[in-house]
């Protein structure tokens, strides 16, 4: 459904991605991890066609995202929900208007009352009821994040891309977001691609983990296999972000956050 084939991307003299290939399994959660500045956010933007690769191709639902016509791109994007790293909310709108925005764009057939009902449902889901008419500028950082999440899932997309859904959230809210991801995957069969710095949370929610480092996918596989990787780059990264047993360990001995 989502496939990156021999993708390279540079900005000026900076090569961010150097011939990476990755297949995102349908109906499962894939996490992309790696040090800051390794191209995780760039990878998500390539997937939705906001950036074009210099070489290689990104195919979503069979469509070559860099070469697709506007109409085709629109049809693919309808099937995606995306939470950007910075939230990307419009401060000039109310919370409700922000969340309803993709609905207005992609489902013009809905009435205002139908839209409001859907928005209220999603606000319940992210545990932020009663803020529909609040000005977006008045929200706290964690609340903004949850509003961004509600907006990403408002159209009930088949694929949800989350760039750091947990960053800046308190542990309770962060756990609630992780639980939401697991529930949506199980109940609605949603395919998730999640970028996260929260390694323990990632291990708990991801079916597959890909690690980017130095412009390459240095490791990629099912989570239990990934955490046992003997690749020194992976071990170094995991050990810096987790207290791990020495060397490739048993996944059951990993610290459980929740």
Ligand X SMILES: Nc1ncnc2c1ncn2[C@@H]1O[C@H](COP(=O)(O)OP(=O)(O)OP(=O)(O)O)[C@@H](O)[C@H]1O
Name the segment binding ligand X (CB under 6 A); options: 30-38, 63-71, 91-99, 175-183. 30-38
Find the binding residues for Mg ion in span 60-99 (CB under 5 A). 85
Q: How far is the CB of 248 from Mg ion (least distance, A)?
A: 28
Length of the chain, in residues = 258
> What own/partner pairs with CB < 8 Å and gap ≥ 24 does 41-44 have?
41/85, 41/163, 41/195, 42/9, 42/16, 42/17, 43/4, 43/17, 43/212, 44/82, 44/161, 44/163, 44/193, 44/195
Nearer to ligand X, 196 or 223 (CB): 196
**Helical axes 95-106 vs 112-125, angle rounded to 10°:** 120
Question: Of these, 2, 7, 16, 193, which contacts ligand X (CB under 6 A)?
Answer: 16
Q: How far is the CB of 90 from Mg ion (least distance, A)?
A: 21
42 scored as a contact of ligand X (CB under 6 A): yes
Q: How far is the CB of 35 from ligand X (least distance, A)?
A: 7
36 scored as a contact of ligand X (CB under 6 A): yes
Nearer to ligand X, 128 or 195 (CB): 195
Q: How far is the CB of 211 from ligand X (least distance, A)?
A: 11
Number of residues that bind ligand X (CB under 6 A): 11
Q: How far is the CB of 250 from Mg ion (least distance, A)?
A: 31
Find the binding residues for ligand X in span 79-108 (CB under 6 A). 85
- 64 forms beta bridges with 59
Question: Of these, 29, 30, 38, 136, which contacts ligand X (CB under 6 A)?
Answer: 38
Picked from ligand X, Mg ion, none, the partner binding residue 148 (CB below 5 to 8 A depending on kind) is none
Number of residues that bind Mg ion (CB under 5 A): 3
41 scored as a contact of Mg ion (CB under 5 A): yes
151 scored as a contact of ligand X (CB under 6 A): no
């Amino acid at each position: 459904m989502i496939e990156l084939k021999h993708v390279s991307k540079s900005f000026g003299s900076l090569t961010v991605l150097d011939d990476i290939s990755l297949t995102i399994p349908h109906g499962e959660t894939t996490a992309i991890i790696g040090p800051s500045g390794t191209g995780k956010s760039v990878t998500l933007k390539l997937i939705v066609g906001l950036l074009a690769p210099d070489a290689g191709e990104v195919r979503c639902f069979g469509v070559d995202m860099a070469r697709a016509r506007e109409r085709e791109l629109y049809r693919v994007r309808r099937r995606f929900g995306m939470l950007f790293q910075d939230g990307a909310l419009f401060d000039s709108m109310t919370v409700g208007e922000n969340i309803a925005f993709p609905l207005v764009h992609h489902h013009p057939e809905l009435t205002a009352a139908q839209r409001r009902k859907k928005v209220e449902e999603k606000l319940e889901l992210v545990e932020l009821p009663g803020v529909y008419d609040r000005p977006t500028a008045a929200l706290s950082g964690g609340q903004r994040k949850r509003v961004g999440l509600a907006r990403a899932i408002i159209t009930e997309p088949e694929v949800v891309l989350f760039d750091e859904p947990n960053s800046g959230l308190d542990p309770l809210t962060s756990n609630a977001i992780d639980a939401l991801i697991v529930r949506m995957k199980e109940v609605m069969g949603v395919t998730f691609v999640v970028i996260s710095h929260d390694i323990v949370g990632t291990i708990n929610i991801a079916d597959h983990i890909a690690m980017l480092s130095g412009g390459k996918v240095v490791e990629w596989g099912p989570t239990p296999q990934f955490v046992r990787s003997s690749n020194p780059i992976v071990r170094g990264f995991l050990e810096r972000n987790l207290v791990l047993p020495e060397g490739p360990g048993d996944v059951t001995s990993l610290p459980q956050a929740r």
